[in-house]
Amino acid sequence: MHEFEGTLDGRGLSLAVVVSRFNEQVVSGLLKGALSALSACGVEDDLISVVHVPGALELPLAAGRMVDAGHDAVIVLGAVIQGETDHYDFVCAGAMRGCAQLAEQTGVPVLLGLLTTANLGQALARAADDERNKGAEVARGAVAMATLCDQLDQHIDEHLDQLYDELDDSAGDDQPSDDPSCGDGEDDSADARRSDVPATEPGQ
């Protein structure tokens, strides 16, 4: 049985953090928590890219650019606070759907730390400098998923190499033998027929 699990060893990982500026007093706390968690996981500062976008709906597009840039995982941070209109539902659904589709289509982990709260107080509580910080939680999840995907990629490569080796061995078993003592049946029959023809004396 093969079992795989990501780790929090972020050494050598290249990560991107895409941050919405809307509700900046909340998002700044999320970003601080995320960067602190990445540092604790051993991710080097020069391997972290931080991208700021105007609002939550712009998050998926910028995250896609970071995937294209070759980052091992992308962390998406934002805060949408419920108002009296349905705009809240539209923004939340659009941002979440876009990030989920990006991860599914590219195979690169896109971790969503988008707060969707009923009021500002709830959002600030989830962005505080403590163990409840959603940015830190999502950052650790990004490291875990990036290392897990690396393990799975290695397993796939090893499995394919094993299959190719088995196919090569099977093809080798099907090759005709070079042993001259092994005739092909047809030549042996022809030789036998020629041996049955009586020799003709000269002049007959």
pLDDT of residue 104: 93
Question: Rounded CA gap, 35 and 17, in Å?
Answer: 9
Contact call for residues 65 and 23 (beta carbons, < 8 A): no
* DSSP secondary structure letter of residue 111: E
Q: Which helix or strand (DSSP H or E) is residue 27 part of? A: helix 24-40
- With respect to residue 181, please indicate whether it lies within any of the assigned structural domains: no
Encoding tokens for residue 176?
């005709």
Strand, helix or coil for residue 2: coil
- Which CATH number covers residue 74? 3.40.50.960
Q: How far is CA 123 from CA 36, 79, 164, in A?
A: 19, 7, 53
- With respect to residue 78, please indicate whether it lies within any of the assigned structural domains: yes
- Split into its structural domains, the chain has a count of 1
- With respect to residue 1, please indicate whether it lies within any of the assigned structural domains: no
Question: Rounded CA gap, 66 and 68, in Å?
Answer: 5
What is the largest distance, in Å, between two alpha-carbon atoms of the chain?
122
43-47, 78-82, 120-124, 196-200: which range is least confident on average?
196-200
pLDDT in tens, 11-39: 999 999 999 999 999 999 999 999 999 99
pLDDT of residue 167: 74
- With respect to residue 81, please indicate whether it lies within any of the assigned structural domains: yes
- With respect to residue 121, please indicate whether it lies within any of the assigned structural domains: yes
- With respect to residue 10, please indicate whether it lies within any of the assigned structural domains: no
Contact call for residues 17 and 48 (beta carbons, < 8 A): yes
Whether pLDDT at 192 is above 60: no
Would you call 159 a catalytic residue per the annotation? no
- With respect to residue 31, please indicate whether it lies within any of the assigned structural domains: yes
- For tokens 């650790």, name the residue: 140
Q: Which helix or strand (DSSP H or E) is residue 16 part of? A: strand 15-20
Q: Where are the alpha helices (DSSP H) in 41-185?
A: 59-68, 87-106, 120-126, 134-173
Q: What is the pTM of this model?
A: 0.77
* DSSP secondary structure letter of residue 132: T
pLDDT in tens, 137-186: 999 999 999 999 999 988 887 777 677 666 776 776 666 656 555 555 55
pLDDT of residue 15: 98
Domain that holds residue 129: 15-154
pLDDT of residue 83: 77
- With respect to residue 67, please indicate whether it lies within any of the assigned structural domains: yes
Residue type, 25: Q
Encoding tokens for residue 22?
């809307």
Reference 72, options 111, 33, 112, 31; nearest CA is 111
Residue type, 75: I
Catalytic site residue from 52, 71, 87, 159: 87
